[in-house]
Amino acid sequence: MTTSADTGGWVGRSAPRREDARFLAGRGRFVADLGDAATLHAVFVRSTQPAARLLGVDVSLARRQPGVVGAYTGADLAEDAGPLPTLHEPHPGFAAATQFRMADPALPCLAVDEVLYVGQPLAVVLAHSRHLAEDAAELVDVRYADRAAVTDATEALRDDSPVVHERLGDNEAGRIGFTLGDVDTARAGAHLEVTETYRMGRHGAVPLECRGVFATVDHRRERVEVWTSTQIPHLVRDTMCRVTGWATESVRVAAPDVGGGFGTKANVYPEEIIIPVLARRLARPVSWVEDRAEHFLAAAQGRDQVHHTRLAVDATGRILSWEDDFVVDIGAASLWTAGILANTAVHLLGPYRMRCVRVHGRAAFSNKTVVAQYRGAGRPEACFALERSLDHAARELGISQEQIRRRNLLTAADLPHRVDLPYRDGVPIELDGGDYLACFEACLDALPRAELTRLRAEHPELAVGYGVANYLEATGRGPYETGRARLGADGRFAVAAGSASAGQGHQTTLAQVAADALGVDPAAIAVVNGDTDAVADGIGTFASRSAVLAGNAVDQACRELVSRARQLAAQLLGAPEARLRDGVFEAAPGTSAPGDSADSTAGAAGTLSWAELAAALGPRGTLADAPPLDVTVRYRPLTVTWTMGSHAAVVGVDRETGLCRVLLYAVAHEGGTEINPMIVHGQIVGGVAQGIGGALLEEFRYSADGQPLSGSLADYLLPETTDLPPVRVVARHTPTGANPLGVRGAGESGTIAVYAAVAAAVQDAVGAHVTATPITPAQVWRAASREPALGRAG
Amino acid sequence: MKPAPFEYLRADSVPAALAALAEHEDAKVLAGGQSLLTLMNLRLARPSVLVDIGGLAELDRVFSDADDVLIGALVRHRRVETDPELRALVPLAAAAAGHIGHVGIRNRGTLGGTLAHADPAAELPLVMVTLGATCYLESLHGGVRAVPAEQFFVSYYTSALRPDELLTWVRVPRVRAGQGWGFVELARRHGDFAMAGAAALVELDSLGEVRAVRAGLMSAGETPLLVSGPDGLVGETASARRWGELATEWTAELEFSEDPEYARALARVALRRALTEAEARAESTPEAA
């Protein structure tokens, strides 16, 4: 293995993932792997009705079943845990600038008086096995008085709609709006105006590992230890303490290995509160492992937006004004209403020169499953509305998809680009990209339209189309993340952060960051994250934030550790100042006094290794009374880090059946410094896969009366490897000055623009304007039947 | 997703399995478990007794004579798909088996299981109807009865099997010289339940004229449907246009519950493509003179 000196650093190298050795050998440790023979297994009884008053929940028969230890209703546990509070509120400056407001749905952990969606937990049964618990759960008698269900967000906002939360009076979960420039005047002078309604269906993460919680009471330490499959253990801990009244120090929350999150696990769930409540009540370990059927009913979903748009352009396709009035179906509740509304609204700006913009958005409650921030969280929806509108205008003007984008993309001359609007953190938006137009051209170079000739020849049975789309993305939202670095007794290091890896490879990347700061090999660094014992507070992993936030937090902690170590090393070296070079301390040039009273700890030629420093700090060392080298910092970025990218898709359509297949794909993105290019590449390709799923296959469908219709993996279609094209990725390294590492988030870059690019390619193939996702075969077949002559041209 | 309680019996011979089925009226036969166990885990099926025939090696055998292949009920889909002998003798079944789920499912799922499950969206039921196969059903008190595949499938998930009967063997006509086959399945992903699917056999004479046509559809009704009429194109020289017309004619009377216009279009496309494939294969394997 080479050292950092050979190549100038670990950051930037595609180091193999340290996690993979255990994952590939089946030695990962997930929630379902925890517990022992004494563990009680929980099964939640869930509402079968989308909207009903609860007339009674009778658990007495269930309680008497063999192997059952307890059965509890919402009323039984209401005093133990209050309703879940929102996880995020925007900065007052942003709220004022966007007339933002939102309602607090205050959903109880277990339903007490009413149920608001199918799958809502309303009772819980504990038994010696999952089998016995399921047998007993069937015997819980629930009596419902059905109410009219709300299943359409637009209808929900009408005055005569039934109301989901009667306490709130109406179904508005939140609203946002802003205007930039003089929209009406700009539009009055337009050559062309296109209006349309765009819809993105409800879908979500559906990770390989469903959710799960294991809780056990440590009587010796007088605390409850909770292992949950989450991206945000600290927020789970904080929320748990808030709704139960428990002291922070009486709870440990940790994420074991987590098999995918994508935002659905960046949430706090009733089950994460109830399981520790029961462990405490019974002083027994309790486990709940969500099965796939539950996951489809009760894990947070995403998207589900409708956008009414109006784009005005001049004769050459330059944007004059852009208006969007959107509605988000937030389900029965969301702890992330603010995030989704604000993300959608702000990302409607796109990577374009846009001076006159009017955005208005509302979130509506419905009797559907709760919603969280699924990978992109408003950005794919905003991107779809804007990019499809650009295609619409281009088509009306008779210019290409590429031309209209070239005429509007921000170039190096335009950047940095100030927008007269604060971001959600209250800081004015300033896009610090490199050259968005150049990024777009790079994408077109990676997958030129000319390749259609070859692909059409290879697939004579298909109508083959080409589509492009651009995205803009705020990544690395604050307010902070915690980083910690500690020198161990053996000269090795322990590094920790408030982030929590759900497969992103933080053990690898955070070690790479720390290795450079400490001047050592990553193998000398143990990385722990996702544990409230590792750092006392933190935020977690979502919003493409961990490379930016946790990465810089670890970097800062390590640099602070080095700074303190240098003082101690100087003492040992008998020099006024020491410096760290290639992982070894030496007297700083011009400061050493050779032959002076250098401590005997110091090695040959007046140098000192980390191991020697650690030994000196040991109980018998010369620095035994110095405080240990253990640094915790909070890294606070000034604001978000912006990124941008371009996607191109080639889609083949079987005109006779409407079946679509993505044949080839390309992404060029303005990432910053890449800590591990292989991992970033994996994020992009995986993101494209999830985007293709959302564009073509995935949908949580509901009947008109609120019953979920996508209850299994036979109904909810995930993209499989055989459905995915080769993805060409061009990383345009565009470091940013917004953070010391110069990194930009990349977790959502692969997903955001897929919907728009695939829709554009389908449209190119069959001719019809594609305005909704998922793009179903029946839809495409109808479009192709209507427009038999189109799709083969250009 | 745990099954409701049930009693489990593992049969060590066909007679023992038949005895168990005779004794327990509510028993279900467990073979590969690829449909039954899912239904049980969802508690949509709640048999009180499971009779596991997975250990009956005698039913995991294949015999052939000059006309037919006799396939045991426990032969796995993966074997139908990949076994050189079966690929040569019943290539239509081999091609269709490749569309069943994924390899892991095909490694466990059995021929008898998929026929007994009688899902109208399943591949091998359609193949057996199209090939004119015969199912052998055995019971302790009734002995063996032979039921043509066309009569075996009764309705959605309902076959001619009586509660005490076990499907033991299937007799399948071998592919003949001059006969071509086609199988087309339309699904959003490989391995999904078919939106539409068709199997076809076309036999040409030495002059290239159609001697016989047999074709069926999956996902087009309560059972796999044989849709070919007695003399479609017989005596004619086939063409793409004629197959298309035939496909239109043979799908015209079908009834679909969901989006019938689209469902019929898909059935028509699948059928036309299967017929066209079958004819092309028949041309490339001309009848021995």
Nearest-angstrom CA–CA distance, A461 and A4? 53
Domain shared by A598 and A689, yes or no: no
Question: Is the Cβ pair B269, A657 closer than 8 Å?
Answer: yes
Domain shared by A264 and A128, yes or no: yes
Which residues, 6 or more positions from A618, have their beta carbon under 8 angstroms from its beta carbon? A489, A624
Question: Is the Cβ pair A134, B259 closer than 8 Å?
Answer: no
Q: Kindly compute the dihedral angle of the four CA atoms of residues A728, A733, A738, A739, in this order, to the nearest 10 degrees.
A: 90
Residue A356: inside a domain: yes
Question: What is the fold, at CATH topology level, of the domain defined by B62-173?
Answer: 3.30.465
Q: Mean pLDDT across the stretch A121-145? A: 98
Instruction: Find, in chain B, the residue whose alpha carbon is nearest to that of A698.
Output: B188
Nearest-angstrom CA–CA distance, A69 and A219? 20
Under 8 Å between Cβ of B174 and B89: yes
Domain shared by A513 and A370, yes or no: no
Q: Kindly compute the dihedral angle of the four CA atoms of residues A744, A746, A750, A756, in this order, to the nearest 10 degrees.
A: -40
Task: Give me the residues paired with residue A608 across strands.
Answer: A585
pLDDT at B134: 98
Alpha-carbon gap: B207 to the closest alpha carbon of chain A (Å): 30
Q: Encode pLDDT of A497-541 as tens digits.
A: 999 999 999 999 999 999 999 999 999 999 999 999 999 999 999
Whether the predicted pLDDT of A209 surpasses 80: yes
Query: A265, A290, A315 — which closes off a domain?
Result: A290
Angle at B141 between CA B135 and CA B147, to 5 degrees: 15
Q: Enumerate the residues of chain B whose CB falls inside 8 A of the CB of residue A138.
A: 4, 43
Alpha-carbon gap: A130 to the closest alpha carbon of chain B (Å): 7
Instruction: Please report, in angstroms and rounded to a whole number, the separation of the first and last CA atoms in chain A.
Output: 51
Compute the half-sphere exposure of residue A403: CA atoms within 13 Å on the CB side of its CA.
12
Which residues, 6 or more positions from A771, have their beta carbon under 8 angstroms from its beta carbon? A196, A197, A198, A199, A388
pLDDT at A10: 96
A371 secondary structure, DSSP code: B
Chain B residue set in contact with A, beta carbons under 8 Å = 1-5, 42-43, 186, 188-193, 195, 259, 262, 265-266, 269
Domain shared by A576 and A456, yes or no: no
Question: Is the Cβ pair B2, A131 closer than 8 Å?
Answer: yes
Q: Enumerate the residues of chain A whose CB falls inside 8 A of the CB of residue B259.
A: 778
Domain shared by A520 and A624, yes or no: yes
Domain shared by A359 and A435, yes or no: yes
Question: Is the Cβ pair A719, B5 closer than 8 Å?
Answer: no
Contact of A715 with chain B, judged by CB distance below 8 Å, is answered with no
Q: Encode pLDDT of A381-438 as tens digits.
A: 999 999 999 999 999 999 999 999 999 999 999 999 999 999 999 999 999 999 999 9
pLDDT at B229: 82
Which residues, 6 or more positions from A450, have their beta carbon under 8 angstroms from its beta carbon? none
Strands A630-635 and A607-609: unpaired
Contact of A781 with chain B, judged by CB distance below 8 Å, is answered with yes
Nearest-angstrom CA–CA distance, B94 and B181? 11
Question: Is the Cβ pair B189, A722 closer than 8 Å?
Answer: yes
Instruction: Find, in chain B, the residue whose alpha carbon is nearest to that of A724.
Output: B189
Contact of A377 with chain B, judged by CB distance below 8 Å, is answered with no
Q: Encode pLDDT of B171-204 as tens digits.
A: 999 999 999 999 999 999 988 889 999 999 999 9
Alpha-carbon gap: A35 to the closest alpha carbon of chain B (Å): 19
Q: Encode pLDDT of A61-101 as tens digits.
A: 999 999 999 999 999 999 999 999 988 888 999 999 999 99
Residue A185: inside a domain: no
Q: Encode pLDDT of B45-88 as tens digits.
A: 999 999 999 999 999 999 999 999 999 999 999 999 999 999 99
Domain shared by A623 and A681, yes or no: no
Chains A, B: CB pairs < 8 Å? 48
Domain shared by A332 and A429, yes or no: yes
Does the pTM exceed 0.90?
A: yes
pLDDT at B289: 40
A697 secondary structure, DSSP code: I
pLDDT at A789: 38
Residue A596: inside a domain: yes
**Which CATH code is given to the segment(s) B7-52?**
3.30.43.10
Question: Residue A323: exposed, middle, or buried by beta-carbon count in 10 A (0-12, 13-18, 19+)?
Answer: buried
Domain shared by A782 and A701, yes or no: yes
Which residues, 6 or more positions from A709, have their beta carbon under 8 angstroms from its beta carbon? A701, A702, A703, A715
pLDDT at B286: 58
Q: Enumerate the residues of chain A whose CB falls inside 8 A of the CB of residue B269.
A: 656-657
Alpha-carbon gap: A462 to the closest alpha carbon of chain B (Å): 14
To the nearest whole number, what is the mean pLDDT of chain A? Answer: 94
Under 8 Å between Cβ of A551 and A520: no
Q: Encode pLDDT of A456-505 as tens digits.
A: 999 999 999 999 999 999 999 889 999 999 999 999 999 999 999 999 99
B interface test, pick of A125, A653, A656, A698 with most B CB neighbours within 10 Å? A656
Question: Is the Cβ pair A135, B4 closer than 8 Å?
Answer: yes
Give yes or no for a cis peptide into A479 (omega within 30° of 0).
Answer: yes
Residues 447-476, chain A: which have Cβ within 8 Å of B?
none
Q: Which domain holds residue A250?
A: 31-148+211-290
Task: Give me the residues paired with residue A40 across strands.
Answer: A286
Q: Enumerate the residues of chain B whose CB falls inside 8 A of the CB of residue A658.
A: 262
Tokens of B59: 């039913």
Q: Enumerate the residues of chain B whose CB falls inside 8 A of the CB of residue A782.
A: 262
Question: Is the Cβ pair B195, A777 closer than 8 Å?
Answer: yes
Domain ranges of chain B: 7-52, 62-173, 179-283
A35: domain CATH number? 3.90.1170.50
Alpha-carbon gap: A778 to the closest alpha carbon of chain B (Å): 7
Question: Is the Cβ pair B190, A656 closer than 8 Å?
Answer: no
Instruction: Find, in chain B, the residue whose alpha carbon is nearest to that of A653.
Output: B188
Query: A239, A259, A290 — which closes off a domain?
Result: A290
Total domains in the fold of chain A: 3
Indicate if B179-283 has the same CATH topology as B62-173.
no
Residue A194: inside a domain: no
pLDDT at B191: 86
Query: A614, A635, A656 — which closes off a domain?
Result: A635
Nearest-angstrom CA–CA distance, A345 and A333? 20
Whether the predicted pLDDT of A590 surpasses 70: no
Q: Enumerate the residues of chain B whose CB falls inside 8 A of the CB of residue A723.
A: 189-190
Question: Is the Cβ pair A130, B2 closer than 8 Å?
Answer: yes
Domain shared by A624 and A660, yes or no: no
Q: Enumerate the residues of chain B whose CB falls inside 8 A of the CB of residue A781.
A: 262, 265
pLDDT at A2: 37
Percentage of chain A lying above the pLDDT 90 cut: 91
Instruction: Find, in chain A, the residue whose alpha carbon is nearest to that of B194.
Output: A714
Stretches where chain B sits below pLDDT 50 are 288-289
Nearest-angstrom CA–CA distance, A463 and A793? 10
A721 secondary structure, DSSP code: G
Contact of A131 with chain B, judged by CB distance below 8 Å, is answered with yes
**Which CATH code is given to the segment(s) B179-283?**
3.30.390.50
Residues 46-65, chain A: which have Cβ within 8 Å of B?
none
A524 secondary structure, DSSP code: G
Written as one string, the DSSP assignment of B55-100 is T-GGGS-EEE-SSEEEEETT-BHHHHHH-HHHHHH-HHHHHHHTTS
pLDDT at A601: 55
Tokens of B129: 């109807």
Domain shared by A306 and A383, yes or no: yes
Which residues, 6 or more positions from A295, have their beta carbon under 8 angstroms from its beta carbon? A206, A210, A211
Residue A143: inside a domain: yes
Q: Encode pLDDT of A541-577 as tens digits.
A: 988 899 999 999 999 999 999 999 999 999 999 999 9
Nearest-angstrom CA–CA distance, B22 and B97? 32
Whether the predicted pLDDT of A238 surpasses 70: yes
Question: Is the Cβ pair B5, A659 closer than 8 Å?
Answer: no
